[in-house]
Amino acid sequence: MEQAAVRLKKGEGRSFKAGGPWIYDNEIDLLTGPWENGGLVRIEDYNGYVLGHGFVNTNSAITVRALSRRADAVIDEAFLDRRVRAAWQYRKDTVDTACCRLIFGEADFLPGLVVDKFSDVLVVESLALGIDRLKGTILRLLTRALAEDGIHIRGVYERSDAKVRLKEGMERVKGFLSEPFDPKVEIVENGLQYVVDVAEGQKTGFFLDQKYNRLAIQPLARGGRALDCFTHTGAFALNAAKGGAAEVLGVDASETGVLQARENAALNGMDEQVGFACRDVFDLLPELERRGERFDLVILDPPAFTKSRASVKKAVRGYREINRRGIALVRDGGYLATCSCSHFMTPELFAQTVGEAARDARRRLRQVEYRTQSPDHPILWGADESYYLKFYIFQVCDDR
């Protein structure tokens, strides 16, 4: 058991007590016993009542990240093995595990850790000092659990190069945690082949959270003309083509992403059906509108326009602009798929912003469905940070 303890101020820790995974620096009264940053601590209420266990880091405003809410929990290898096996069993129950997120940080009760599986390769992202010390053990236990199901992992790559590590007092790092291998890994998702660059691609190399949202747009593309904005490596565009689109245009400002998208299209024999352009979407959409272009399906999958509460107002303007432009390009009776991956863009605010965009474009929206992230990115109630992806499909209509 830990000798060190974090004691909350009276009346503080309301978010944590409601199910949240974090305790902030301004909620803490004192640290007692021998402790070090990254080490384990008991979490105590103001009166000494044990609320759980976690690890501490006074370098960060998020000073404590909870590992367990059980007073009698012992954080040892057996504890970590149970966490890992529970995460793996959940994926086997809920998603296609050929490629999936195996560990999703706080939502899998392993705060600050992300592990993605791309075929027989794992990519790990460690964002907190405490979990960084445990990641080697966790990866060993995870690899063993997969092996018991006949899945051999040939390599592990670390992508802990996010800026948020600096707030934890850690350096940004990336590289092999196993014997080196070709970092361009071939995967299959929704029956489509992709090359994922785990070393140089965005985040861990491929956005697994949109797997079933990509599948959902396939029937809407049948026989029509589709526009995929912020295409990244072409995943939505290729799903539109697989759904039977006659013509698809994918657009992204990243030349590297567009080159990879073209390679993925060729890999699936779709390079004549699907074209890609390296353009700024904010510049291209008005140009397409002026030319009188119309599409049967428009997909808007932008990067997060805001990563803090301070920049939400600016982000709203960006989301309203691309949605207004995107809606204007949909033919009467066509479809719009639009999303936000920013946690700070709340579901209510995103819905309001899209509604305002439709009014500005003088079009009507009929909601087909509302979706969130793939189940391998579970939303843990009480941990609001785990709910970040909002995805709408609308039919776009002229006023009737």
The residues carrying an active-site annotation are 341
The candidate with the shortest Cα–Cα distance to 210, out of 45, 375, 20, is 375
- Contact status, residue 24 vs residue 156, Cβ threshold 8 Å: no
- Contact status, residue 79 vs residue 54, Cβ threshold 8 Å: no
Given the structure tokens 């700024």, which residue do they identify? 280
Give Cβ neighbours of residue 372 (< 8 Å, ≥ 6 apart): 379, 387, 389, 390, 391
What count of other Cβ atoms lies within 10 Å of the Cβ of residue 162? 14
- Contact status, residue 297 vs residue 334, Cβ threshold 8 Å: yes
In DSSP terms, which residues pair with 297 in a beta bridge? Answer: 226, 335
Label residue 150 left, alpha or beta by phi (over 0 means left) and psi (-120 to 50 means alpha).
left
Integer Cα distance of 190 and 100 in angstroms: 12
What count of other Cβ atoms lies within 10 Å of the Cβ of residue 395? 16
Token pair of 47, please? Answer: 């009166």
- Contact status, residue 66 vs residue 8, Cβ threshold 8 Å: no
Token pair of 55, please? Answer: 């690890």
Integer Cα distance of 395 and 348 in angstroms: 20
Tell me the residue length of the chain.
400
Cα Rg for the chain, rounded, in angstroms?
A: 23
Token pair of 375, please? Answer: 């189940």
Burial of 374 (0-12, 13-18, 19+ CB in 10 A): buried
- Contact status, residue 172 vs residue 161, Cβ threshold 8 Å: yes
